[in-house]
């Protein structure tokens, strides 16, 4: 009987979890834009060129285009998606759409224009900065009233997570040798990502009982899910950084390339899980919840002799 009950709850959750297209969109956009933004770190530290290569631009284009396509499945009327541009200058969503569109256009130009094209080279230089903008707008668009854990520093999470993934991907693919100053920058970004995740977990615990979870079944498993996310991204990324720092001391025959590729797959899975948990563990303050919280507080107040006499 218990198993049947769990099965019914699981099927009910799958029907209720309508954010799946947004999970796909934000995961693909975080990975794609992170790949582009990682190039900024390499350029600033002298570990690589400022401009994205044709191969990088093509991969960024693929990831961002797939993410954009996935996002349309969350729209009630996909053909009216262009109306989002009407909020230019006022809406965070409009800013996100415009930045994403510019990044896709720059990636296409950098990937497909002939070698030596000045326009293609300029697009390759602009692409990392547009990708940085995509990571920032991914966070700011969800700063919604009442969504408690989407406030504050939460908007920085796609930025930190994307750069961690992007720099690892560039290192594994040969975009840089995972050394020099850039490896220490990656370590700092990795620490920032872990810190932001711990802040998120702390806020979830602090708001427990005060706000209403969007998906109570998953919220009850928040600690194990967040621990898995920490393992997939932060522990794995730290191992990659550690291996890069001690590469010269590794024993002969150590499969460094294969190990780094495995770690990158782990981090990619962590990006997907992170974006899933962003929606799955959302909690919001509602009027009913606030009334219930005040009533609970009043019931727990000690009754004074004067109050009991009245």
The predicted-structure confidence for 173-228, as pLDDT tens digits, reads as follows 988 999 899 999 999 999 999 999 999 999 888 877 777 888 889 989 999 999 99
Assigned token pair, 306: 């004067």
Distance of CA 137 to the CA centre of its chain: 11
Residue 106: the pLDDT is: 97
Q: Which residues contact 257 (CB under 8 A, 6 or more apart)?
A: 172
The β-bridge relationship of strands 212-213 and 283-284 is: antiparallel
Say whether pLDDT at 98 is over 60.
yes
Percent of the chain at pLDDT exceeding 90: 57
Average pLDDT over residues 43-66: 95
This prediction has a pTM of 0.84
Residue 60 and residue 107 in contact, taking contact as beta carbons nearer than 8 Å: yes
Assigned token pair, 299: 């019931």
For each of the domains in the chain, give its residue range(s) and CATH number, in order of start. Answer: 16-296 (1.20.1630.10)
The predicted-structure confidence for 130-173, as pLDDT tens digits, reads as follows 999 999 999 887 776 667 777 778 889 999 999 999 999 999 99
Residue 138 and residue 96 in contact, taking contact as beta carbons nearer than 8 Å: yes
Instruction: Using the structure block, give the residue that is written with the tokens 């499969």.
Output: 255
Long-range Cβ contacts of 203-208 (<8 Å, 24+ apart): 203/148, 203/149, 203/152, 204/149, 204/281, 204/283, 207/148, 207/149, 207/283
**DSSP state letters, the chain:** -HHHHHHHHHHHHHHH-TTHHHHHHHHHHHHHHHHHHHHHHHHHTTSS-SSPPHHHHHHHHHHHHHHHHHHGGG-SSGGGGGGGGGGTTT-HHHHHHHHHHHHHHHHHHHHHSPTT-HHHHHHHHHHHHHHHHHHHHHHHTT--TTBGGGSGGGGGHHHHHHHHHHHHHHHHTTSS-S-HHHHHHHHHHHHHHHHHHHHHHHHHHHHBTTBEESSHHHHTTHHHHHHHHIIIIIIHHHHHHHHHHTGGGSPTT--HHHHHHHHHHHHHHHHHHHHHHHHHT-EE--HHHHHHHHHHHHHHSPPPHHHHH-
C-alpha–C-alpha distance, residues 201 and 226, integer Å: 7
Distance of CA 84 to the CA centre of its chain: 22
Which of 279 and 9 is assigned the larger pLDDT? 279
Q: Which residues contact 270 (CB under 8 A, 6 or more apart)?
A: 229, 231, 232, 233, 236
Say whether pLDDT at 83 is over 50.
no
Task: Look at the alpha carbons of 103, 100, 267, 178 in this order and tell me if their dihedral is positive or negative.
Answer: positive
The whole-chain average pLDDT of the chain stands at: 84
The predicted-structure confidence for 31-40, as pLDDT tens digits, reads as follows 999 999 999 9
């Amino acid at each position: 009987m218990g198993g049947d009950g769990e099965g019914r709850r699981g099927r009910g959750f799958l029907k209720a979890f309508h954010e799946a297209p947004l999970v796909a969109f934000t995961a693909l956009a975080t990975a794609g834009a992170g790949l582009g933004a990682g190039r900024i770190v390499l350029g600033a530290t002298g570990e690589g060129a400022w401009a994205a290569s044709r191969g990088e631009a093509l991969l960024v284009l693929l990831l961002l285009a797939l993410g954009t396509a996935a996002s349309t499945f969350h729209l009630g009327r996909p053909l009216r998606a262009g109306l989002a541009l009407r909020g230019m200058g006022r809406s965070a969503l409009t800013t996100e759409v415009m930045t994403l569109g510019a990044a896709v256009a720059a990636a296409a130009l950098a990937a497909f224009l002939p070698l030596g094209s000045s326009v293609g080279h300029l697009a390759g230089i602009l692409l990392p900065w547009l990708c940085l903008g995509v990571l920032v707008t991914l966070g700011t668009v969800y700063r919604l009233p009442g969504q408690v854990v989407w406030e504050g520093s939460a908007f920085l999470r796609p930025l930190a997570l994307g750069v961690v993934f992007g720099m690892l991907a560039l290192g594994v693919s040969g975009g840089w040798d995972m050394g020099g100053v850039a490896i220490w920058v990656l370590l700092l970004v990795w620490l920032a990502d872990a810190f932001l995740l711990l802040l998120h977990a702390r806020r979830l615990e602090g708001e427990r009982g005060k706000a209403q979870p969007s998906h109570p079944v998953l919220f009850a498993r928040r600690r194990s899910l967040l621990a898995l996310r920490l393992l997939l991204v932060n522990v794995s990324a730290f191992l990659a950084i550690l291996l890069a720092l001690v590469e010269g001391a590794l024993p002969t025959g150590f499969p460094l390339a294969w190990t780094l590729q495995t770690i990158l797959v782990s981090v990619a899975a962590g990006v997907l899980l992170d974006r899933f948990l962003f929606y799955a563990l959302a909690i919001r303050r509602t009027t009913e919840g606030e009334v219930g919280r005040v009533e609970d507080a009043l019931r727990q107040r000690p009754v004074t002799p004067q109050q009991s006499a009245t």
